[in-house]
Every structure is written in structure tokens, then in C-alpha cells.
A and B are shown apart, each in its own frame.
Chain A
Amino acid sequence: MHTRSIARLGSMLRARELSAVELATHYLDRIERLNGRLNAFITVDRDKTLAHAREADARIGRGEAGPLTGVPIAHKDLFCARGWLTTCGSRMLGNFVAPYDAHVIEQFDRAGAVILGKTNMDEFAMGSSNENSYFGPVLNPWDERAVPGGSSGGSAAAVAALLAPGATGTDTGGSIRQPASFTGTSGLRATYGRVSRHGMVAFASSLDQAGVIARSAEDLALLFAAMAGFDARDSTCVDHPKDDYVAGLGRGVKGLRIGLPREYFTADLARDVAAPIMAAIDEYRRLGASVVEVSLPNQHLSVPVYYVLAPAEASSNLSRYDGVRYGYRAPEFSDLNDMYAKTRAQGFGAEVKRRIMIGAYVLSHGYYDAYYLQAQRLRRLIADDFARAFRECDVIMGPAAPSVAFDIGARTQDPVQMYLDDLYTIPINLSGLPGMSIPCGFGDKGRPVGLQVVGNHFDEARMLAVAHAFQQATDFHTKTAPGFV
């Protein structure tokens, strides 16, 4: 049952070949049996999920079912879901039961999807390996010595291990695409402004955007169709017409112009990653696409620029965690300032503290122009590179990560090395663009490789069709980690 696509599960539910309660029970049993090996979930609540599934069954019984009604979906633990613990992977929110639903949760609720649980993540979405969670690291289903990537590592691992048919994620600097690449799953980060961030815990507000992880472009399209939409409560949400992501899947790639940035195919890219990527490009040529070389000359500045802007915004956003209105409060303190300082010292982990401090420094008096304004100017140059490239091509392709999943512990001693690995994903966030990663092969030690597909603003329908065309011609996306069949 767990090997079936979301499209198929939806039609089985509507045909009453399967009830939502049976389906939820099946996945809950798998999670109970297998999650101990991966630590992909922070919260699983059988009673709540089954109650939700019973509502879905009632809705199916009334003949009001949509494509996702009764389908269980896991949510990254930074989407507030009313009555559910929403920890953001942090001790700071370790006791936080959300008093309201995020817009994304409301959208899935309207579609009749069932909340399957809340997935593990790097604390406050800061990390590329899921080793920064207060609730312990997540392991990669393909190789339990490897990281699943991050920060949406729990969502990616859950989908890869068939513990959930689909899961939500967020992507501030690559946090959907890199874990999708590392786990052989398909991931989509939306255009900045496409999905409402109301009720999505903030990290860096000019970069954060939601998305989904699933096992195929078709499943992503079904999930994305439910998730995307305008919501006035997020002032950055754009009231842009929604395409029919599902109906547009079959349009093929004949005449598609694929841009390959010459800056992406350098010595920084491991050979075992480059080979499957180039083979995928060849497959697209066979399917009727053409390839043009494009140039993104300022991309090498993306990581430094990001590590000014994201920490600056994080230091501001995370100032709300003061031990007063919600979350953790230090048990002992001498006065109000001491309460703040102890609460934050005890509530935040090492990576979050580093980033808050870098942010406080680059925004502090005397440094603002040299760091923050300079980074914002370079951000424009980086975004302009993409605007120029998209005059010559329809999508840009390349790697999502410079290597396959690395071993647990391999990067923890050197935060800067971990940051540098995000060189292919960060430019897209700086430019507000949508990006995907789809599985295209395997590299060293049999670990998966993802192909990154970047589209122009609000071009998700085309990107999903491009990914679908590849998946109709290949079977990488159907491969399952051997220990989790």
C-alpha cells in the first residue's frame, strides 16, 4: 500500500477500495516499526491522526472528496497545526502546542488530507544535515551512516523510507532541494510569495518559502495544487493566478530550452554527481529539449551574501524568543535581562546561537553598510544574472548539491564547510525563484543524486511538467531504499 502514488491512493479512497482510517493505520504502523531507525518524526499522535482520518472517511461518504481527501501527509515541524506540538527542532519550542493552524495546514485540511505527524528538522531550519535538531539527528534511509540533508531532513527521510506518501518542507537556502537530492526524493520549493507563510515559523523572511517533498512530480503537483494560494495574512504572499499543476503535467519537453550555467560544472562538483546529471541532460535532449550554455557570473558570491542576509534576518526574527509569551523559560534567573539571556542560552542550540550572533554583528552600529547593504547590492547582481539567463532559456538545470549525502559527523567540526556545500541552492533563494530536485541516479556508495531544475518566477507548472517528462522516461524516482521496501 505504501508503494502507491498519491494519485492512486486518492482514487482508491474515492472508490472506497480503502478507507482513510485503514490507510492512516497502515502508515502509523510503519512509522511505529521503522521510525526508530531514522528519527524522521518528532511527533506522532495516533489518536489525533485517526480522528482526522475518520473525518476524511465521512467526507468521502458524503461524496465530497477531492484528490487528497484521506491521504496522510507529514508536516515539517515548523508549520503550526492547532493542538499539535510544533517544536521547530528546538528546545525553545519544545513545549509549544500551536494554538492555531498555519495557512498551509488549513489548505491541506480543506483538501481533506490527514495530518500523519510532524517531522524532524534542523533547529529553526538552520542546517544542511539535520544534525542540528534538539531531538537528535535524522538518518538517511539509503545508508544509515549518512545524513539525509537538511533542514527538511525528516520530511525527506520519511518520504524516502515510505513512512509518508508526501511531506511539507521549507527552503530558505536549499532546505527542500538538498535533502530531496540526498534521499532520492522529488522536492519543490515554490516561488517566493506563492505559498502563504502564515503560521510557518520564521527564519529569514526575505528568503523563506514553503514547498513539498514526494516520490514523483505527479504527486508533487497534487500536493502543490492544494498548498499554493493567496492569503492576505502573509504580507509577502502574491495574489498571482494559480496554474492547473496536474492537468499541465503531460505537456512534454519538445522545444524546451534548458540553460546550463557554465559556473555550475566546475571542479567543485564531484564526478560521481556530474555523471548522472549529464546523463539526465542527455535524456532531455532525446526527449526533444535543446541545451544552451548560460552564465551566472556572480554566483560565487551567493554563499557569503547569504551568510550576511540570513543571519541578519534571523537575529531579528528570533528576538521574539524571550521566555515571556510562549516556549521555554529558564527556571532560574536574577532579573528580566538575566531571564532573557539564560532563556536564550539554554533554549537555543549552538548553530542557532552562531547565526544570531553573526546577524547581531552585521547589523550593529558601524558595520551595517559594509555588510548588510553590500550584501543587498550583491543580491541584486545575483538575481540579475538569472533574469538575463532566462531570456535565453526556459529552465536552468544543474546539481542540487556538490556531492552525494555525506557521513554523519563529517561536517560538524567546520560550520563554514557545511555552508559552502549550499552553493547551488542558495542563489535561487536570493533571487526568489522556484526550484526542484528530482532523482537522476546514484553516486558513490550507492547514494542518490538529484537534478536541480530552476524555473522563472511562478513557473512551477512548467517545472513540474519538465520533471514529469523525465520521470515518464526513467525509473530513478521509483527506486526505494532497500531496508524500507
Chain B
Amino acid sequence: MLSEDDVRRIARLARIELAAAEVHGLRAELNGILGLIDQMRAVDTSGVEPMSHPQPLSQRLREDRVAETDQRERFQAVAPQVEDGLYLVPRVIE
């Protein structure tokens, strides 16, 4: 069972701000989902190879060559804030 502190810690990991009033309800919801998930923990799966991908294929490799054209202006047109081809974010280093 997650505590309210756990919920706040997970929200920090997920970079989602939580208002104090949200924590109580969210804790109950997440514990409900984890209760569902916990049904699978009791099953013995020793010796079963984890299945990470639904097709038993190895990843294709391609030649290490430039394949994309420069579309910076088009792609940056949808950015919240850009200047001289750079994405602007709040100052990180004073």
C-alpha cells in the first residue's frame, strides 16, 4: 500500500505537480490499481523468459548515414519559445 509520502515521491519522479488536496484521493486510486496488479505477483514464473516484444525479431540496422533533411524551422514553429534556432527554457545555471 502506498502512503501519501509515496504518492508525493512518485509524482516528483514523474515531474507532475500535485496540489496538497489531490494527494489523499490519488493515493486511494493508485492503491486500487496496485491491488489489481498484485493479483499477478503470486504466480510462479520461475524459468519463464520475459517477453519484451510481441514479435521475435531482432532490430534492423541501417547504414550510419544522414537520412534526415534539415527541417528545423518547420519543427521549431510549434515550440513554445525559440530564439536563433534554439529552444528557450528557464535559466538553469546562474
| A binding-site residues for B, Cβ under 8 Å | 95-97, 99-100, 192-193, 206-207, 232, 235-236, 238, 301, 303-305, 307-308, 315, 319, 322-329, 333, 335-342, 344-345, 348, 353-354, 356-362, 364, 370-371, 373-381, 383, 414-416, 419-420, 430-432, 457
- Given A341-B16, A358-B30, verify A374-B45 contact (CB < 8 Å): yes
The answer for the CA separation of A383 and B51 in the assembled complex, in Å, is: 9
A192 partner, pick from B7, B18, B55, B91, beta carbons under 8 A = B55
| Residues of the B chain whose Cβ atoms lie less than 8 Å from the Cβ of A457 | 55
Q: Are B14 and A357 in contact (CB under 8 A)?
A: yes
The answer for the CA separation of A378 and B87 in the assembled complex, in Å, is: 43
CB of B65 within 8 A of chain A?
A: no
| Residues of the A chain whose Cβ atoms lie less than 8 Å from the Cβ of B30 | 354, 357-358, 361
Q: Are B78 and A96 in contact (CB under 8 A)?
A: yes
| Residues of the B chain whose Cβ atoms lie less than 8 Å from the Cβ of A364 | 10, 13
| Residues of the B chain whose Cβ atoms lie less than 8 Å from the Cβ of A232 | 60, 62
| Residues of the B chain whose Cβ atoms lie less than 8 Å from the Cβ of A357 | 7, 10-11, 14, 16, 26, 30
CB of B85 within 8 A of chain A?
A: no
| Residues of the A chain whose Cβ atoms lie less than 8 Å from the Cβ of B51 | 376-377, 379-380, 383
| B binding-site residues for A, Cβ under 8 Å | 2, 6-7, 10-18, 26, 29-30, 32-41, 43, 45, 48-55, 57, 59-60, 62, 71, 74-75, 77-81, 87, 89-92
Nearest residue, chain B, Cβ from A381: B48
Q: Are B43 and A301 in contact (CB under 8 A)?
A: yes
| Residues of the A chain whose Cβ atoms lie less than 8 Å from the Cβ of B26 | 353-354, 357
Nearest residue, chain B, Cβ from A97: B78
Q: Are A376 and B60 in contact (CB under 8 A)?
A: no
Nearest residue, chain A, Cβ from B51: A380
Nearest residue, chain B, Cβ from A239: B60
A361 partner, pick from B10, B45, B48, B90, beta carbons under 8 A = B10
The answer for the CA separation of A376 and B53 in the assembled complex, in Å, is: 9
A367 to chain B, nearest CB (A): 10
The answer for the CA separation of A374 and B51 in the assembled complex, in Å, is: 10
The answer for the CA separation of A362 and B14 in the assembled complex, in Å, is: 12
Q: Are A356 and B14 in contact (CB under 8 A)?
A: yes
| Residues of the B chain whose Cβ atoms lie less than 8 Å from the Cβ of A192 | 54-55
The answer for the CA separation of A96 and B41 in the assembled complex, in Å, is: 40
Q: Are A344 and B40 in contact (CB under 8 A)?
A: no
Q: Are A419 and B36 in contact (CB under 8 A)?
A: yes
The answer for the CA separation of A307 and B33 in the assembled complex, in Å, is: 8
Q: Are B75 and A99 in contact (CB under 8 A)?
A: yes
Q: Are B74 and A99 in contact (CB under 8 A)?
A: yes
Q: Are A323 and B80 in contact (CB under 8 A)?
A: yes
Q: Are B60 and A326 in contact (CB under 8 A)?
A: no
B50 partner, pick from A95, A235, A329, A376, beta carbons under 8 A = A376
A345 to chain B, nearest CB (A): 4
Closest 9 CB pairs of A and B: A432-B54, A376-B50, A377-B45, A380-B51, A341-B17, A329-B80, A345-B17, A377-B48, A304-B40
Known pairs A235-B60, A305-B40, A324-B80; list 19 more (Cβ under 8 Å).
A193-B55, A193-B57, A232-B62, A236-B53, A301-B39, A304-B36, A308-B37, A319-B15, A324-B89, A326-B78, A335-B92, A341-B12, A344-B14, A354-B29, A361-B6, A374-B41, A376-B52, A377-B45, A415-B33
- Given A232-B60, A416-B32, verify A373-B55 contact (CB < 8 Å): no
Q: Are A307 and B48 in contact (CB under 8 A)?
A: no
- Given A304-B37, A358-B34, A361-B30, verify A322-B55 contact (CB < 8 Å): no
13 A-B pairs whose Cβ atoms sit less than 8 Å apart in the complex = A100-B74, A235-B59, A304-B36, A337-B15, A342-B17, A357-B16, A358-B33, A364-B13, A374-B41, A375-B40, A378-B43, A381-B45, A457-B55
The answer for the CA separation of A294 and B30 in the assembled complex, in Å, is: 35
- Identify the interface centre among B6, B15, B35, B48: most chain A CB within 10 Å of its CB: B15
Nearest residue, chain B, Cβ from A420: B36
Q: Are B54 and A374 in contact (CB under 8 A)?
A: no
Nearest residue, chain B, Cβ from A429: B54
| Residues of the B chain whose Cβ atoms lie less than 8 Å from the Cβ of A323 | 80
A410 to chain B, nearest CB (A): 17
